[in-house]
Chain A
Amino acid sequence: MDINRLETARLFHRFGFGPRPGEFVNAVNAGVSATREKLFANSGTDLGLMNVPQLVVTDLGKRPSPDDPQLASYTSELRRQNTELTTWWLDRMALADFSLQEKATWFWHGHWATSIKKLNFALPMYKQHQTLQKYALGNFNEMVTAMLDDGALQFWLDGQENTAKSPNENLARELMELFTLGVGRYSEADVKELSRALTGIQVARSSGEVTFKKNRFDNGTKSILGVSQNFDRTSAGKFLVSQPDSKRFITERFWFRYMSSQFPLPEETEFEGAFESREIRELLLALASSDAMRDTRYELVKSPVEWFIAVCRALSVTPSKLTKNSALLNYLEKLAQVPFDPPNVGGWPTDDAWLSSASAQFRASFASWLIAQGDISPIENLTPGERVQKTADLLGVVEWSARTKSALEGNTKNSKRLILLAICSPEYLVSA
């Protein structure tokens, strides 16, 4: 295996959403460190995002009663906003130049996995999304502070039910288990104490607006991980993030999603050191620069959204322009991954979970549907003899196996068919 191609392909597919036409070959020629530098360079304004259609989300307010004639227009507007929010984000992923940022936001959405199914409204989800965008490559400490003020997360985990009089442990438990420390790195007593620190929040569901009510807040001393003080949500969040376990945990989570969910994060790595100041970009840069990038054991399956967006980028597809959006969302639903709708607070599964035969069938019909609307000229314009190798270059595939090569070579005169098979091939589904 060509290790430079491997490392380049991993930079594109794991740290971004896959190459656009021509990008992969240019990157292989420029070399790995130039490619990495480009990947991490933030020019400030993302020109690709200029092409994302404007999103309109508003506060819809309280739902009209069942006999109110306004109900029909209300629910149709609600549905429109929810659908548009989803396709808007897919557009961002597909069109962004600074793919590192979008991919990290996608990672954080899976980390703080909040579902619109419970929230019901687009606006609070959109606000959470903006917070995740803002801190995606920023400081984790600041992210945690902001997320504890996030209406969608608070509502999702019943933060508004958590009062001094009757504490609700939902958010406290997940904050330690899934968001900051990892399971087993705290006691049940810590959960109870932390939930006291998180009290006082009220959420307006349709807007996601959070208000702090002093009379709902438990103003006593809380003892968390052996430290006693009058924690509130902000100080408790900062305290948790400052723990060495938090440094380890977040590093593990990035390893799991960016490097391997088959092999655990090795005991001794340079990554935790890179995350000392809780700067997320530094951690990602350390991962992208590590020897692990050249270790062929660390393969990863593209999740359905990652696969779809990679195809969009290769075939110059804008998701919201696909006809129809409802068919697109239906395919993603069949493949069990729709943005803003994770299956539970643990986020989406990985690897073999995406490789069922049912998914293979949906993927095949999804792929044919997509190709019919995509730009295949980068392959169509070539002579049949060049097409198989150039399809690997277009898609950012390291190399074709003998098996896939033979399937593709029977179709060199039919570019559509060739690309269909290529994007459904094991070499494309799995990031080598």
Chain B
Amino acid sequence: MSNQTSSTIDLIVPEMAPDAMAGVRVTQARVFRSEWIKFRTLRSSWLLLAVAFGSLATIGIAVNWSTILDFAHMDARELSHFNALDDSMVGFQLTQLAVGVLGILIIAGEYSTGMIRSSLAAVPNRLPMLWAKTVLVAALTFVVSVPASLITFFGSQRVLSSHHLQTSWSAPNVPRTVLGVALYLTVVAVMGVALGALIRNIAGAIATFVGIMLVLPGIAGSLPPTWADRINPYLPPTAGQALLAFRADTRVMLPWNGFALFVAYTVGLLGIAAFMLKRKDA
């Protein structure tokens, strides 16, 4: 890139016009606006939102499509276990990774690049920045997840209807599960923000996130069954995904109780992140 810009350099240091200075001060709303500008001016933001939307909207439909193609080979037992709702929403497994990384990048990305110094010099109280990032990531995740959930649900039922395997919006627990996916993903994204703020390093935060959300339940599953049943329901992902369970399962918490515990974990983590952000050197 050319460095030949000096011809335009002069030594006039323009002072701001007095009327331009009126009302110049930091507010939470302005910090939110700043975070929105930061978000929308990076390609990675849009890429992750697209992955989140695409994975949630299409994977369930594809899975159900494969079921229809394989229908002739399914025996009675397989058909009795078939769950039109679960299979429609299964894409969230990948989507949670995308929105978790989205939350991590919005803050750990600033530490990795040094941008955080500019951000905190502008907002030295620091917390307005964390709140703005949290609200922004939560809002975007929710706004993207709701339509994607509806697309995968109704798309799947349409695919399944050819063999009369579909369920409907008015069936028990369906609205709670379909919209629950969006709520669950929203909290997952906030957990990403909290981990990113705490760990301040993209790779470290992603590793921790994967450890909590994907590895922990697997390890708990390897414990003797009586232990596993005592621990597993209270792990963050299991608790959060209780909201997505379409039929009563004695091995997980009640849907809203589980989700409330998951929210509590995330809020706790965000609280620690806020405390450390305020306290530690940048």
Specify whether A and B are partners. no
Question: Residues of A with Cβ closer than 8 Å to B?
Answer: none
